[in-house]
Amino acid sequence: MRTQFYVLAMTVIDAGLVAITSRPGQINHERKVKTEREDDIQFTLSGLSEEGETAQNTSARLFKEQLGLYPMDLVENFNSRVNFLLTLIKLGETTFQDGTKRLFLAIEVNNDFLRTAKLSPSTGGFRYSLADEIPETGTALDPVSGKYILDTAGPKAMLRAFEIISARDGSSSTK
């Protein structure tokens, strides 16, 4: 069974450590339906793994497909594929009732990220989100019903990214 990946890009700006979150567009062009919750704060990107693909390969492919970016566009002092693989931070994983695994990852990116990313038609835009702006509950698309369900795993993983990166870098999620 394939894995659903959620990747959160993180960076530091004057306000402190922030997540680069996306918000859905008015229309989900892949499903050809109106977006149910336009106010959602979502992971920077998400998508399914291909058969036999590693977590690192899936993440790199999703950045290229969804944002038009290669790993070397994302990470400061990028000098090898290994460097990109080491920058991925596992935040956690959960499983839907049908057995579909969800894997939550984070990556620290340089400040040029938003200037170089190309949005897909279904993405309404990006924004910087501080830790205290992450809601306790979000939504997730249930692979069985095809409907959006209430979700706490995604928001918890986002907050975990703030904890891990703040502790590792000695930075603060607020200023």
CB 40 within 8 A of CB 138: yes
Provide the mean pLDDT of the chain.
77
What is residue 85's predicted lDDT score, i.e. its pLDDT?
46
3-state secondary structure of 37: coil
pTM for the model stands at 0.79
Task: Give the tens place of pLDDT for each residue, 13-58.
Answer: 888 899 988 876 655 545 555 655 555 678 888 888 998 888 878 8
Task: Give the tens place of pLDDT for each residue, 121-165.
Answer: 666 678 889 999 998 888 777 777 777 778 889 899 999 999 999
Q: Taking the domains of the chain in order of start, what are their residue ranges?
A: 3-169
What is residue 160's predicted lDDT score, i.e. its pLDDT?
94
Q: Which one has a higher pLDDT value, 117 or 85? A: 117
- Give the CA distances from residue 164 to residues 112, 115, 169, in Å, rounded to whole numbers and listed in that order: 22, 26, 9
What is residue 78's predicted lDDT score, i.e. its pLDDT?
47
> How many degrees, rounded to 5, is the angle at CA 48 between CA 8 and CA 149?
75
Band (104; pLDDT cuts 50, 70, 90):
very high
What is residue 69's predicted lDDT score, i.e. its pLDDT?
77
CA 28 to chain centre: 17
- Nearest partner of 47 among 100, 112, 115, 86, judged by Cα: 100
Which tokens in the block code for residue 9? 């890009």
Task: With a cut of 60, say whether residue 80 has pLDDT above it.
Answer: no
Domain 3-169, CATH among 3.40.630.10, 3.40.718.10, 3.90.79.10, 2.60.120.650: 3.90.79.10
